[in-house]
């Protein structure tokens, strides 16, 4: 079997595939491919190891129905038309668990950085604006004993909750579609409705999938209901918040600050007004970007393809319906 790898991955992932006897074609330059280029590259192979957020839409699946399987290198799969994949009987896998701690680290980093205006303060140093020891200007705020509201308390949210409790004794509340009773026990989290999450949280951190239900869930109305002192953090998907509404909420002082590792669209334009706000910290979607985590993701993705090569089911399959008729 032959795999096309759509962007470079850490070497252990490649070696894993080679050792299992999988032939490899790779987009070495790591330049993002257009849909047509990807379709063309997939014509010659049986498997796709898809790196990044490039869309796999119904046109892709109509043209690549011959593929035996696709391994994503992300836990999120909103960029994939799963219905079309299932219709074409192509199993698709993702990379859960291995990136939870690294992503929660970025949420924690943003929460702390926003609370102390760290990115803005660092920029002042670079701009030569560090003149004096200001005693009352541009003060931050502290997190100790405050309430952290988690929207989507799964593996990543739980990892953040543990860090926030250990570091700052934060009280944890959360809103999910289904209650997470294990997390309730582990971090003493309290389940609340969405309105209570908005009104009670000092920091809200988003850790849910992007779906029709969660798209733009944080909008003008939600920002207005949050505390004026609240910090909004999103490390999940940019479309879960409404970016213009977020900018306005910050400009009008409806919330205090925001930290984003994901924006809408990505990349964010360099002259975006959010980038000049003192209480805003923006990162370029680096939740899983550590050597350790990206290596684990590459191994997990390659193991899913190797399972297929050996005639087995993908362990991390998302559209398990493809196996239903077997
Ligand atoms: C994920 O795994 O979903 C990360 O956001 C990277 O896309």
One DSSP character per residue, 52-110 reads SS--B-HHHHHH-TT-SEEEESSS--TTB-HHHHHHTT--EE---STTHHHHHHHHHHH
Q: Give 325 Cα–ligand 1 centroid separation in angstroms.
A: 30
Minimum CA distance residue for ligand 1 atom 3: 76
Q: What span, in angstroms and rounded, lies between the C-alpha atoms of 76 and 240?
A: 13
Query: Does residue 263 have a pLDDT over 90?
Result: yes
Query: Does residue 273 have a pLDDT over 80?
Result: yes
Q: Give 246 Cα–ligand 1 centroid separation in angstroms.
A: 22
Could you report the per-residue pLDDT of 163-200, keeping only the tens digit for each?
A: 999 999 999 999 999 999 999 999 999 999 999 999 99
Q: What span, in angstroms and rounded, lies between the C-alpha atoms of 99 and 5?
A: 20
Is residue 76 lining ligand 1, measured as CB closer than 6 Å? yes
Q: Give 293 Cα–ligand 1 centroid separation in angstroms.
A: 11
DSSP H or E segment with residue 171:
strand 171-175
> Among residues of the chain, what percentage have pLDDT more than 70?
99
* Lowest-confidence segment of 259-263, 289-293, 320-324 by average pLDDT: 320-324
119: confidence class by pLDDT, cuts 50, 70, 90: very high
Minimum CA distance residue for ligand 1 atom 2: 74
Is residue 99 lining ligand 1, measured as CB closer than 6 Å? yes
Query: Does residue 317 have a pLDDT over 80?
Result: yes
Is residue 100 lining ligand 1, measured as CB closer than 6 Å? no
Query: What residue ranges define each of the domains in the chain, with the CATH number in brackets?
Result: 2-98+290-323 (3.40.50.720), 100-282 (3.40.50.720)
Could you report the per-residue pLDDT of 41-78, keeping only the tens digit for each?
A: 999 999 999 999 999 999 999 999 999 999 999 999 99
Task: Please report the pLDDT score of residue 325 as a whole number.
Answer: 61
Choice from 54, 56, 76 to test ligand 1 binding pocket (greatest atom count within 8 A of CB): 76
Contact status, residue 104 vs residue 236, Cβ threshold 8 Å: no
Task: Please report the pLDDT score of residue 28 as a whole number.
Answer: 84
Could you report the per-residue pLDDT of 184-240, keeping only the tens digit for each?
A: 999 999 999 999 999 999 999 999 999 999 999 999 999 999 999 999 999 999 999
Minimum CA distance residue for ligand 1 atom 4: 74
Query: Does residue 326 have a pLDDT over 70?
Result: no
N- to C-terminal Cα separation, the chain: 21
Neighbouring residues of 84: CB distance < 8 A, sequence distance ≥ 6: 57, 58, 60, 61, 62
Q: Give 288 Cα–ligand 1 centroid separation in angstroms.
A: 7
Task: Please report the pLDDT score of residue 278 as a whole number.
Answer: 96
Q: What span, in angstroms and rounded, lies between the C-alpha atoms of 173 and 199?
A: 11
Is residue 209 lining ligand 1, measured as CB closer than 6 Å? no
Is residue 107 lining ligand 1, measured as CB closer than 6 Å? no
Identify the residue whose tokens are 């609370």: 115
Identify the residue whose tokens are 């994503």: 72
The residue among 270, 289, 224, 217 whose CA lies nearest residue 250 is: 224
Task: Please report the pLDDT score of residue 324 as a whole number.
Answer: 85
Cα 51 to Cα 80, 87, 113, 304, distances in angstroms: 12, 22, 29, 14
Q: Give 78 Cα–ligand 1 centroid separation in angstroms.
A: 10
Average pLDDT, the chain: 97
Minimum CA distance residue for ligand 1 atom 1: 74
């Amino acid at each position: 079997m032959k795999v096309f790898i759509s962007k470079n991955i850490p070497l252990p992932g490649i070696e894993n595939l080679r050792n299992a006897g999988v032939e490899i074609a790779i987009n070495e330059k790591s330049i993002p491919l257009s849909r047509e280029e990807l379709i063309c590259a997939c014509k010659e192979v049986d498997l796709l190891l898809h790196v990044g957020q490039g869309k796999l839409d119904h046109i892709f699946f109509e043209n690549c129905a011959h593929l035996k399987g696709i391994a994503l290198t992300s836990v999120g799969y909103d960029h994939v038309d799963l219905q079309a994949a299932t219709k074409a009987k192509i199993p698709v896998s993702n990379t859960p668990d291995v990136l939870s701690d690294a992503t929660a680290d970025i949420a924690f980093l943003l929460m702390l950085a926003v609370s102390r205006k760290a990115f803005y303060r660092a920029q002042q140093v670079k701009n030569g604006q560090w003149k004096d020891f200001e005693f009352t200007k541009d003060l931050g705020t502290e997190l100790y004993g405050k309430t952290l509201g988690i929207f989507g308390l799964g593996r990543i949210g739980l990892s953040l909750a543990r860090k926030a409790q250990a570091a700052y004794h934060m009280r944890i509340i959360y809103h999910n579609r289904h209650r997470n009773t294990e997390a309730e026990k582990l971090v003493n989290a309290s389940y609340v409705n969405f309105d209570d999450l908005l009104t009670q949280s000092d920091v809200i951190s988003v850790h849910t999938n992007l779906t029709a239900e969660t798209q733009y869930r944080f909008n003008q109305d939600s920002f207005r209901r949050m505390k004026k002192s609240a910090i909004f953090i999103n490390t999940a998907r940019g479309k879960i918040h409404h970016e213009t509404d977020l900018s306005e909420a910050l400009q009008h002082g409806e919330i205090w600050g925001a930290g984003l590792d994901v924006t809408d669209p990505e990349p964010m334009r360099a002259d975006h007004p959010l980038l000049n706000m003192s209480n805003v910290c923006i990162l370029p979607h680096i939740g899983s970007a550590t050597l350790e985590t990206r290596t684990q993701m590459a191994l997990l993705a390659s193991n899913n393809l190797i399972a297929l090569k050996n005639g087995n089911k993908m362990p991390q399959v998302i559209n398990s319906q493809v196996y239903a008729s077997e």
